[in-house]
Every structure is written in structure tokens, then in C-alpha cells.
Chains A and B, each alone.
Chain A
Amino acid sequence: MPDTTQTTLTAAEKTGGDTAALVSKPEQRKPRSLWGDAWFELRHRPMFWVSATLLVLLLLIAAFPGLFTSADPTKGDLTNHFLSKPELTHFFQPDWFGYDGQGRSIYARVIYGTRASILVGVGVTAAVTLVGGLLGLVAGYFGGLIDSIISRMTDMFFGIPFLLGAMVVLNAFTERKVYVVVLALAFLGWTSMARVTRSSVISAKQADYVTAARALGASTTRMLFRHVLPNAIAPTIVVATIALGGYISAEATLSYLGLGLSEPTISWGIDISQGSKAIRDNPHALMFPAGMLTLTVFAFIMLGDAVRDALDPKLR
């Protein structure tokens, strides 16, 4: 498997390369800002609404799992050991998705597992965007030696396959709470973000209004955060949204290898990896957490896709 994150990023990096065209494109017809234009575009896309609805629902579940089920996800009763297959008509009941090998309600575990996955996805994305974005901004804007150092550093980290690196790093931790997994994935994942931001900053820097601002004597900070960043951040946001789904998927893959989140965190990855052992007789123990995971990743990637299309008129 090519690991999701890296490939997502490289795929989207292309978008980064196109930013020159994207950012410096003269406004057409009605004067609308890039963001206003994008929002207008987004509102008219069914894909956006589908993914947005899904994501709001998922965020709700992650924030308030107790609202969706009254069952205790950690309570196992061996008399229920795989005994109960899913009761697809028992909506929102503990036995809706059946019970797992420990006799725990799969529905409750799927609901309570949402938080960990979303936290990992959002956490890693936030961290890589912050670190990678800043490094990329600095490298792209200042150029010269700083750029060389940051770029070579990026190359070094980029040389290590994402999943392999994550395995080695996480193997070092005995208790892998959410923040540990977030830090480990961010440690290896920031490079793509840095590259994308750097290339879009370089093209934004050359825009006339930036030269104008500089001529007017704007301070470096002002230049960076008022003029360059807002005009260069679009590709970074696109990459980040798409990558988010990839990070969630990566966590599940690591859990499958026994190197993702660890007990007592409830996570889809752990449940999928346990469920995969029962695939023959009790596929429901695998299908429901795997389905939820897929749905979540799907929602994020779809959103990222819609955002990208909206921000990059060339792709329409």
C-alpha cells in the first residue's frame, strides 16, 4: 500500500505548483475575492454539502458520544460473545451492530471510537500545517541560506517513507495516547506541507501587490502575514484537508500493526484489527468499525476535493 498521506500530499502538491496561475490570475467579471469566489463555487456543489453534513454529524458524535448511545463501550459480557449478530432494525440500541468477541456493543464502540480518530486526524493536520506551513513560509519568503537549510531538512525527512518512519517512532512508546500518535505522525508528515507552502509563497512573493507593499516600506512581519500568507495559503489548506483523511487512515493502519493508539483508548483501528481475526464467522465485528472509518475518511477527502476544485478554477 502506498501510504495515504504521502501520496495525497504529493498528488496535491501539483496544485501547489499551479498557484502562480491561481493566485495571480486577474479577477474576472464581478470583483470577488478568491475566497468569496471559492465559497460561491462550493455552495453549488452537492459533494460539498454531503461531506459537510457527514462531518458535522461526525464531529457531534466525537464531542458528545453519550448522546448517541447509552451503552458502555467497555462493558463486556461473555454471554454475548459474538452471539448476537447485528440487529439492523434495532436503531440506536446496543445490539444494533451486534456484539464483539468480548461481548461488547459494537455500536457503542463505534460511537465512542469516533473521538480518537477525529482527534488524531485534526491534531496531526493542525500540527503539520503549523510547523510545515511556517517553515515553508520562512523558506519561501527569505530564500538564500535559510531556504537551503530548510529545504535540505525537508528532503531528509521526506526520504523516510511515512509509514515506516511512524512505525519506528511509535515502537519507542509504550503508552501511545492520542497526543503521542499525533506528534509521531506530525514529526514525519510536515515535509509535504512545507514544500507546498514554500512553492506557493515563492510565487505569491513575486506578485505586484507584494512588491508594491515592500516599496511602501511595510515591515517584514506585516508583509508575511498580511500580504504573502493570505495569498499563498490556499494550496496548503487544500492539501491539509485531503491529508486529514489520510492521517486517520494511517492511524488505523498503525493500529492494525499494533503500533497505533493503545489501550484503554477506544479506537476504530484497534477494533478493526481485532475484528479482522473474526472475518470468517463474524464479519460484522470488522465491517462496522471499518465502515465508519471509511465513511469518515471519505467525508474528509470529499471535502478536500470540493475545496480544491473551488479554489483552483483551472480544474473545473
Chain B
Amino acid sequence: MRGAKSAKWVAIASVVALGATACGGGGNSGSDDMNKGSADPKGIVTAQLSEPQNPLQPANAKESQGSRVLRTVFSTLVDYEPGTGKLQYINAESVEPNKDSSVWTVKLKKGWKFHDGTPVTAQSYVDSWNWSANVKNNQTNSSWFADIKGYEDVHPEKGDPKSDKMSGLKVVDEHTFTISLTGSVSYFAYKLGYDVWAPLPKSFFKDPKAAGEKPIGNGPYKFVSWDHNKLIKVRKYEDYKGPNAAKNGGIDFKNYTTADAAYSDLRSDNLDWIEQVPTTALTNYKEDLGKRAIDEEYSAVQSIVPAFYTDQFKDIDPKVIQGLSMAIDREQITKTVLHGSRTPADSFVARGVIGHKAGALGDVAKFDPKKAKALIKEGGGVPKNKISIQYNADQDHKPWVDAVCNSIKQSVGVECVGDSKPTFQADLNARDKKQVKSMYRGGWVLDYPVNSNFMRDLYGTKAAGNTSGYSNKEFDELAAKADKAPTLEETVKLYQEAEQLLVKDMPAIPLWFYKVNSGQSTNVYGKIPYGQDGDPIFTDVQVKKK
């Protein structure tokens, strides 16, 4: 129970979630009850939150909790349209690349102000990024700026930074600046929607620590107070100029120790939105809540990953891994053990991401014990005929790991056991030190809605997210080519080719895509709209008039 809670930031979260504060049409579906009465533009929404792990500085929210608050207080240059993942301009008037996408020019909308009344200028962005990228300022997301020229000057691998400015950032005039990258990245604009890229007011740099306790942003909400472990309050910023102005009067983020506690508060209308229905109620929440139940897919995938540095998988024939994949009855496991909280995966790239191709995995994702057996035999069998799946016990992974193992055991007769590590840290530690004995569970939530994020950042030989020791020259070359493609469309297409390459080579076995199983109280007017990262679009949540 407790494990599940403190692990929450890992589950949905540890993995960075993106700001999707886009302006989507919300609220016309749902029952009559939900739409009865009228919306109160001054109504306060109460939402569940766990204590953010780090101060509320834009580049310091590695987990979803801090991120959830930050993205109400800060607006970035761009955002994504829910569902399609298309780019929308928020604080930017335009973000344009040069010919080979290596230099980008950003024009800002005029008249924007921070909550303290100071103007949002090109300098606010450049100062913010320079500060956040500086290794001395200990921002957990500092490596997001690595594409920019001069990054190694402020963030050297060892020792003190040589400079406090990245040479790639140049202010042209009050509302224009340019970004020079170390190479061409055709989808760079897509990265700019993440919290990390928010601007910071002058007051921030005087006392960054205090600003982390009470951030001043440029977003749709003003930060009011942070009562640690209890409550964070933000209120509507009346002078907000962006397209995603708040349709409610503000948000109270309430802290809960367990999902059960939050759920019982939701049912008694003390809370308007919960993060996730507790496991104890997954089977009944739809009965409990009726149409107020929320069941939405978001762009995250869970997989099991062979550790390619082990003797077992070093020289494995990919057919064996394909066989193992086909030995897993995804359909049944998601329905029973996972209570419908996931949907079977049929591709490496999660749905809702640009370039997602349904059924990319083809037969490999289909449950077929006979064929699975044949493939494994053809590939020379699983060495030692025994695998283990490493996972961390502080989150609710045990049930599905056990179920996957049982499925493999029964359909192809390969011995399979869960290998539990007490905490997420211990799990990561074993992965980083290359001590995984056989396979491990992997999870990935989108950083930005382009398919490259689910491939290059995970399976590239030198990719930071590649902890399995997987290396495929052909794939690396194709990815490099894709990144240099002149347009986003071409990049995406080349990555789709790369996905087919991965299906043949199986760097991981994708299991299922995540779903949000949540609910809303009777105070909410209309249905709560969701972004692609599995978090609500809070600005569009409406509260009923009392």
C-alpha cells in the first residue's frame, strides 16, 4: 500500500511527463448529471498530489508531482494538441528552423507578463536556460539542454563550468532570440513544450531557493502557497494572455499518503480528481462512480528487456525473444491481473505519439504458444531454459510479473521467476551496474510526442536510456539519418522503418500501454479532459456553480 504510494512518482512519473496544457475542447461528453447546472468560472478544483520531491524550479521536476504544479504556474513556448500531438504556440509567436534545422529562431508574443508584473522577454528565456543547464545549480533535468551549442561549457563532464552562458543562445531583440544546436534536430521545436524550457523572472536569480518554494511564473495560474505535505494552492492569473487561460478559479492540490485515502475522499466529494484508482477498487470503480469514472489511454509503454550483457542473451537469436513475446497472453493478463488498467501493446511506440503505427509488432505481439515454441526451438532455445524478470517491490509490479512468468511457463515450458528488488533505487542500481541476471522490467512515458522518443532514446547504442547493452549498427545509422532529415514528416517515416528493424531484432518485449484509471467528483462540470502524458488539462476543468 505504502509502497505503491511512494512509488507512484516512479510509476507514472519518475519518468518525465510532458506539459500538455493545451487548449482542447472538453466537457461535452458524459452524463446529463455531469452537465447539469452551469460552470462557475471562479470555482476551485481540488486535485490529488503527493509531495513534490524537489523545489518547484522548472528544470528540477523529474517526477510528475512537481511537474503537475509547475505546468500550471509556467507556460512554455509551445504545447501539443491532445490526441494528435500537433504543435501549438503558447508563449511563442513562432519557432522556425533554418534549412538544416540546426539554428532555430524564436519570436515571442508581446505583452506577456510574469505574475510579479515584470515582462516576459527573450532574455527571460535565455537566462533561465543558462541557469538551468549549469551543472552547479543541480537541476535534475539539466541534460535537456545538451543539444544547444556551448552546453559543455556550462555543464562539463568533470570539474567546474568554464562559463555561465551557452554560446548557442543569442538574444536578437526584446522578443526574439536564436538557438544554435550542435547538430540538426528536425523535431527540436517539439522538445520545447516540456517544463524545463520555461522562462524565469529576474527575481528568481536573486534567490533561486526561495523561488523554488514560491515560484513566480508566466502561466495560467499564480502560485499562492505551499503547506508542505498538506496543500499547494494556485489561483487563476487574471492577466494571462495565452490561449489556455483557466476556466476555473484555481486549484488546491491536496496531499494523500495512499490512493485508497484519496479514492474514499473522491467518493465523498472532498476531492475532485484522483491520480489513479487504487488497486483495491479497480474492479468496482466504474460501478462506484458511474459516468464519473475516467478510463483513458496515455502514451506510455511497459516492457520486459533482456540484459544483452548476460551470457544468456549475449549471442541470442532474436527468434527466441520473439518466441518469448508470443508466449505471453497479454489479452488475458491485462483483463484479469491488471483489471483493465493497461491495453496490450502492438508496437514499440505508444499510441498518441506522432508516427505511431498500430500493429507494428505484427504477429510477435500475438499470443500463440505453438508458434512461440517453434520460434524458440528454431532460435536454439533459451539458454539454461530459465529466465527471471527483475522488478522493484515498492511498486505494484509483482502481480503482472508473476502473471507474465506463469504465462511463459505454461505456454512454452521455460522456467520463469520474478526477481524482486526492494526499492526502485536498488532496481536501478542493478541495471546501471549491469548486474541484471536475465531480464528486467522497463517503462517509458513520452518526453515529447514524436516516435523517435520511443526508439532512439531507448535503443540507440549510446542512448542514455539504453541500460540493456543493446547495440544495432543498422539501427543507429538509420536513426542518425532520420534525425538529419529536413522535415519532421521524413524523420517520422524513417523512424517507422527503424521500428520494423527493431521488430526483427527485439531489443525488448513490449507488453502493454498504460491507461489512466481515475475519476472525478460530482462537483466537476463536464468530463475532465486529459493530455497525452496521462495528466488532466487542469485549465479546462470546470466546476459546477453551487
Contact = CB atoms under 8 A, between A and B. Distances in A.
Q: Answer yes or no: A and B touching, Cβ < 8 Å.
A: yes
B3 A264 contact: no
Given A78-B406, A102-B403, A102-B406, A174 B430 contact: yes
B406 A279 contact: no
A258 B3 contact: yes
A277 B280 contact: yes
Contacts of A78: 329, 332-333, 336-337, 403, 406-407
A280 interface: yes
B437 to A, nearest CB: 11
A277 B393 CA distance: 14
A264 B337 CA distance: 19
Contact of A101 (B329, B337, B420, B421): B337
A278 interface: yes
Contact of A170 (B280, B283, B407, B422): B422
Most A CB contacts (10 A, CB to CB) among B2, B280, B407 go to B280
B264 to A, nearest CB: 12
B499 to A, nearest CB: 30
A101 B335 CA distance: 12
B281 A173 contact: no
Task: Give the interface residue-count category, chain A.
Answer: 20 to 34
Contact of B283 (A76, A173, A281): A281
B438 to A, nearest CB: 14
B289 interface: no
B422 A258 contact: yes
Task: Give the interface residue-count category, chain B.
Answer: 20 to 34
Given A78-B336, A279-B280, A280-B280, A101 B418 contact: no
B156 interface: no
Contacts of B374: none
Contact of A280 (B281, B398, B403): B281
A281 B339 CA distance: 12
Interface of A is mostly: loop
B420 A263 contact: yes
Most A CB contacts (10 A, CB to CB) among B329, B398, B410 go to B398
B279 to A, nearest CB: 4
A174 B337 contact: no
Interface string B260-303: 00000000000000000011110110000000000000000000
B419 interface: yes
Contacts of A256: 1
A170 B422 CA distance: 9
Contacts of A170: 422
Contacts of A277: 1, 278-280, 396
B422 A102 contact: no
B432 to A, nearest CB: 14
A262 interface: yes
A280 B393 CA distance: 22
Contacts of B398: 263, 274
Given A258-B422, A280-B280, A102 B337 contact: yes
Most A CB contacts (10 A, CB to CB) among B2, B406, B423, B430 go to B406
A263 B419 contact: yes
Contacts of A259: 422
Contact of A171 (B333, B407, B419, B423): B423
A4 interface: no
A87 interface: no
A264 B417 CA distance: 7
A280 B280 CA distance: 6
B394 interface: yes
A281 B399 CA distance: 17
A276 interface: yes
Given A78-B329, A264-B417, A277-B279, A258 B393 contact: yes
15 contacts: A75-B406, A77-B406, A78-B329, A78-B337, A103-B336, A171-B422, A171-B423, A173-B422, A256-B1, A257-B3, A258-B3, A258-B393, A278-B280, A279-B280, A280-B283
Given A263-B418, A277-B396, 19 more contacts: A78-B336, A78-B406, A78-B407, A102-B406, A103-B336, A170-B422, A171-B423, A174-B422, A174-B426, A257-B3, A258-B422, A259-B422, A263-B398, A263-B419, A277-B280, A278-B279, A280-B281, A280-B283, A281-B283
Interface of B: 1-3, 278-281, 283-284, 329, 332-333, 336-337, 393-394, 396, 398-399, 402-403, 406-407, 410, 417-423, 426, 430
